[in-house]
Chains A and B, each alone.
Chain A
Amino acid sequence: MEEIQATKPLHVTSATFDSEVLKSTIPVLVDFWAEWCMPCLMVAPIVEDIAQDYAGRVKVCKLNVDDSQSLASRYGIRSIPSLLIFKGGSVVNQVIGAVPKSELVKRLEQVLRT
């Protein structure tokens, strides 16, 4: 799947989480969100920007916490948006709440450098 350089965030669910996120060969940014969450809607355009800017280097996914409650609780999500960065199947960085694009970029660059 990874030859396709997605420029739009990919929606993942419990069924696709393992293959798309945990087994990804490049780092993955997962945006845990819900339709009723206003700051989630506020960071959505930033997450879309990141998907474009980092196409091919970072995979950007969105996970609806209402549809995938078990995954949300597996990662202890109790505040959204929560933006988790995965590398090699585990969480290497985490941002809770809506943050500016520059903050996300900083975290992603850190992850890409290591």
Chain B
Amino acid sequence: MRFDVLVIGAGPAGLTAGLYVSRAGWRAACLERLAPGGQAALTSRVDNYPGFDEPVSGFELCRRMEAQAKRFGVEVVQGEAQGLAVAAGSVVVRSAEATLRADAVVVASGARPRELGVPGETELRGKGVSYCATCDGPFFRNQAVAVVGGGDSAVEEAMFLARLCSRVYLVHRRDEFRAVKTVVERALNDTKIVPVQSAVVTRIAGTDGVEAVEVRNVSTGATDRLEVAGVFVYVGLLPNSEFLAGQVARDGAGYVITDEDMLTSAPGVFAAGDVRKKSLRQISTAVGDGAIAAMSAVRHLQGLRAQSR
């Protein structure tokens, strides 16, 4: 399969890049390992995406982005990028099913939840340990759960869970939550949310399912055991960039390094969205990156075409 521009990932950044390339009259496809939407599709409620004056579910927002991209002719190809190579004026992307070629590639593979890395976490994954409140929350109706983390995602999803669960412990390693002030205030006013500050999780306990999380206070050293049936982990992200190893420059954490036009270290390879080294990872910044990367890719195509004339 050959495209003018191949976009890796169909989250907000990838769908936007595809839309801009297609609308400019070039053939664009998004290679997506699952279905379009990305992390944004798993978000219970998006409050801060301009143009939606009322909160919108992440799923609905992404469904619309997909429909809009398809309206301009973006193709979605099912598959997972496993490797990428730059060869004389074109880029080759390998998936389990096919080898895809394009004149330019936009890497928009996003990020995934970071794990806590404590005993019990892997063993009890799917048995009470979860990284997605909107997916698994309803299994814990009227039960106590813990949310680990202190950023926007952690606090927002704790509020979502508080509507279903009997009690939500919000465990954060610092004494203050990192999430924006209004969100934190709203959460702390919720009587079902019990903040557990300055505490780290040391173990997730349980045999067939989660029974408790063990926490340690970082200043006093005191330990506690919170009896919960579920643990939702929101402690940051890891970039989906392993398949770029050795081909595209990344920082120490694995985020792709770009300039302000989204150019990477490899000619013809651009990057956009959460996979990129940047200071704010949001839907609004992902779509901005996607648009810029698309136009840079188009300029690259025009350069290639001019050369070959």
- Do the two chains belong together in a single complex? yes
Residues of A participating in the B interface, judged by any CB pair closer than 8 Å: 34, 36-46, 49, 76-80, 82, 96-102, 105
Q: Which of A39, A46, A97, A98 contacts B126 (CB 8 A)?
A: A97
User: How far, in Å, is B122 (CB) from chain A's closest CB?
Assistant: 11
Interface hits, B96-136 → A, CB 8 Å: 96-97, 125-128, 130, 132, 134-136
Scan B23-61; emit 1 where CB is below 8 A from any A CB, else 0: 000000000011101000110000000000000001100
- Whether B208 contacts A76 by the Cβ 8 Å rule is yes
User: How far, in Å, is A48 (CB) from chain B's closest CB?
Assistant: 11
Nearest residue (CB) in A for B80 is A100
Return chain A residues, CB-CB under 8 Å to B132: 39
Return chain B residues, CB-CB under 8 Å to A96: 125-126
- Given the known interface contacts A97-B126, A100-B80, the answer about A78 and B34 at a Cβ–Cβ threshold of 8 Å is no
- Whether A42 contacts B96 by the Cβ 8 Å rule is no
Residues of B participating in the A interface, judged by any CB pair closer than 8 Å: 33-35, 37, 41-42, 58-59, 78-80, 95-97, 125-128, 130, 132, 134-136, 138-140, 208-209, 230
Residue of A36, A38, A80, A97 with most partner-chain B CB within 10 A? A38
A96 to B79, alpha carbons, bound, how many Å? 19
- Whether A41 contacts B35 by the Cβ 8 Å rule is yes
User: How far, in Å, is A63 (CB) from chain B's closest CB?
Assistant: 14
5 further contact pairs, Cβ within 8 A, besides A79-B126, A102-B97:
A38-B135, A41-B35, A78-B130, A97-B126, A100-B80
Q: Which of B59, B78, B95, B126 contacts A38 (CB 8 A)?
A: B59
Nearest residue (CB) in B for A106 is B96
- Given the known interface contacts A37-B135, A76-B209, the answer about A45 and B35 at a Cβ–Cβ threshold of 8 Å is yes
- Given the known interface contacts A38-B134, A45-B78, A101-B78, the answer about A78 and B209 at a Cβ–Cβ threshold of 8 Å is yes
- Whether B135 contacts A79 by the Cβ 8 Å rule is yes
- Whether A100 contacts B135 by the Cβ 8 Å rule is no
- Whether B34 contacts A38 by the Cβ 8 Å rule is no
Closest 5 CB pairs of A and B: A102-B96, A96-B126, A42-B35, A79-B126, A100-B33
Return chain A residues, CB-CB under 8 Å to B97: 101-102
- Whether B34 contacts A98 by the Cβ 8 Å rule is yes
- Whether B37 contacts A38 by the Cβ 8 Å rule is yes
A43 to B97, alpha carbons, bound, how many Å? 17
- Whether B78 contacts A49 by the Cβ 8 Å rule is yes
- Given the known interface contacts A76-B209, A79-B135, the answer about A42 and B126 at a Cβ–Cβ threshold of 8 Å is no
Return chain A residues, CB-CB under 8 Å to B37: 38, 42
Return chain A residues, CB-CB under 8 Å to B128: 78
- Whether A76 contacts B127 by the Cβ 8 Å rule is yes
Return chain A residues, CB-CB under 8 Å to B230: 78
- Whether B42 contacts A39 by the Cβ 8 Å rule is yes
Return chain A residues, CB-CB under 8 Å to B125: 79, 96
Interchain residue pairs with CB less than 8 A apart (20)? A36-B138, A38-B41, A38-B59, A39-B132, A39-B135, A40-B135, A43-B34, A46-B78, A77-B139, A78-B127, A79-B130, A79-B136, A80-B135, A96-B126, A98-B34, A100-B79, A100-B80, A102-B79, A102-B80, A105-B96
Return chain A residues, CB-CB under 8 Å to B34: 39, 42-43, 46, 98-100
Nearest residue (CB) in A for B208 is A76
Return chain B residues, CB-CB under 8 Å to A100: 33-34, 79-80, 96
- Whether B42 contacts A38 by the Cβ 8 Å rule is yes
User: How far, in Å, is B158 (CB) from chain A's closest CB?
Assistant: 18
A34 to B140, alpha carbons, bound, how many Å? 14
A59 to B146, alpha carbons, bound, how many Å? 38
Return chain A residues, CB-CB under 8 Å to B135: 37-40, 79-80
